[in-house]
Amino acid sequence: MLREEIIMLCTADLASQVRGKGFPACDLESRLKKGIGWTPTNSMITAHGPIAPSPWGPFGDTVLVPDDATRVRVDFGDEQAAFHYMMADICNLDGTPWSVCPRSFLKRMLKQLEDRHGLKLKAAFEHEFMLEDVEELPNASYALDAFRRQGRFAETYLGALKAAGLEIDTFMPEFGPKQYEVTVGPAEGVKAADEAVAVREIARAVAQYFGTRASFTPILRPDAVGNGVHMHFSLMDAASGKPVNYDSQGKNNMSETAGSFLAGILKLMPALTAITAAGTISYLRLTPNRWSAAYNNLGERDREAGLRICPVFPGSGTDISKQFHFEFRAADATANPYLVLGTLIAAGLHGLDQKLDRPEVCPGPPQDLEEAQLRDLGIVRLPQSLTEALDLFEGEAAFKPLLGEDLIQAYLAHKRFEVDLMKDLSDGQQCEKYHLAY
């Protein structure tokens, strides 16, 4: 039977759901020029289905403008449709960026970082997820047996990532139930977020090919270990491309520039979690003694720190300044990767603009420190609910000129409606909702 391959032109929306419209692959050349029409209120569709109160209602028009560099195609053979998509910017009809487009927001923050401070940013998103048809066993953590029981999924998945142009790093069984982790190499600027979308969507496509599902839900059930999305990042001089993070004479080997950038993130992290931990169940995961971030602390070799200085390996023969980088840990896959990276840069810009001092490394688990110690270090408990995080985000003046009022108000309306959808459900029922959505 005659078939016509379809390409989906997509955006990652405020709920970190990838939505868009398809067109025949034979029309690619023309679609690269004219894009596809899009409706503003589509951005208010929640991950759970209902549409949040929209400032646009049925009015208005925007256009999805494709970026051909993001095109992904996974060929599953003659018996299944090819998985073929590309990412787009949401633009006004005159071609200017739409104020609520997450990808355009990230581009704007990257430009601000370069224009104001002569810096670029490299990043990589480290993902954890569950494979539904893998049997849950009590001894599976990091086990060769857990690797064996996922069958050919990993081989097919990594092959598809490689074909999509991603630099493969590691794949492994993780600590949690049915949990696996995939890491890819760093990419510069907006490409890092494009690749985060690819990591998730290719995993879902390959899982479907094998008759199962991959879920990136923040936590499978209230008593389980959660799925994080840890973002590794480093700063570079925009002119030379050289890393600017390391100073052998600096406090904790941080350069003054990197220190100010990190200080801004730490200062604004409680409000930032509204973007980076964007589900109601995200806050079941952000608790002490769970190998997850619960405070806005800077750690060194500490996998419960909100922000971590990553280890270097002098014996590898690689220049330490090229290895030295940082990891933001208070994020999960309910968060749009363009918004995560963009708001992280916005917080870092605040630190650079204010010339904040290099932060101190927390000397131990924050939950074990005296209140006076925490006060001296500027360490506070991160929000314990999405509602609390949204209130902090709305009240944080530093974000307003960078994100813009349209994006802030649309995001607040979207997420507060999501909170309302979940308010009468138990933690377990909410976990099941997010499990299906992500």
The pLDDT of residue 317 is above 90: no
- For residue 429, the number of C-alpha atoms closer than 13 Å in the C-beta half-sphere is 6
Mean pLDDT, to the nearest integer, of 428-437?
97
Q: How far apart are CA 273 and CA 229, in angstroms?
A: 13
Helix (H) or strand (E) run with residue 390 in it: helix 386-395
pLDDT at 78: 83
**In a 3-state reduction of DSSP, which class is residue 151?**
coil
Structural tokens at position 276: 């980076």
Q: How far apart are CA 101 and CA 64, in angstroms?
A: 10
Contacts for 137-143: CB closer than 8 Å, 24+ residues apart = 140/173, 140/177, 140/178, 141/173, 141/174, 141/175, 141/176, 142/172, 142/173, 142/174, 142/175, 143/173
Q: How far apart are CA 111 and CA 116, in angstroms?
A: 8
pLDDT at 139: 86
Structural tokens at position 221: 């059930």
In CATH terms, 6-100 corresponds, of 3.30.360.10, 3.10.20.70, 3.30.70.370, 3.40.50.2300, to 3.10.20.70
Q: How far apart are CA 286 and CA 127, in angstroms?
A: 16
pLDDT in tens, 105-116: 999 999 999 999
327 within 8 A of 292, measured Cβ to Cβ: no
pLDDT tier at 177, thresholds 50, 70, 90: confident
Strand 83-91 with 6-12, pairing: parallel
Residue from 131, 142, 281, 269 nearest 203 by CA: 131
Which residues are 120's β-sheet partners?
236
Q: How far apart are CA 250 and CA 309, in angstroms?
A: 13
pLDDT in tens, 249-300: 998 999 999 999 999 999 999 999 999 999 999 999 999 988 889 999 999 9
pLDDT in tens, 318-371: 788 899 999 999 999 999 999 999 999 999 999 999 999 999 999 999 999 999
pTM exceeds 0.85, yes or no: yes
Residue 234: Cβ within 10 Å count = 22
Q: How far apart are CA 105 and CA 340, in angstroms?
A: 11
Question: Among the listed ranges 98-112, 243-257, 309-323, 423-437, which one has the minimum average pLDDT value?
Answer: 309-323
Q: How far apart are CA 104 and CA 98, in angstroms?
A: 7
Domain boundaries, the chain: 6-100, 104-437
Structural tokens at position 23: 């067109």
Q: How far apart are CA 92 and CA 406, in angstroms?
A: 14
CB neighbour class for 426 (10 Å; exposed up to 12, middle 13-18, buried from 19): exposed
Mean pLDDT, to the nearest integer, of 403-424?
98
104-437: which CATH architecture?
2-Layer Sandwich (3.30)
What integer best gives the mean pLDDT of the chain? 95
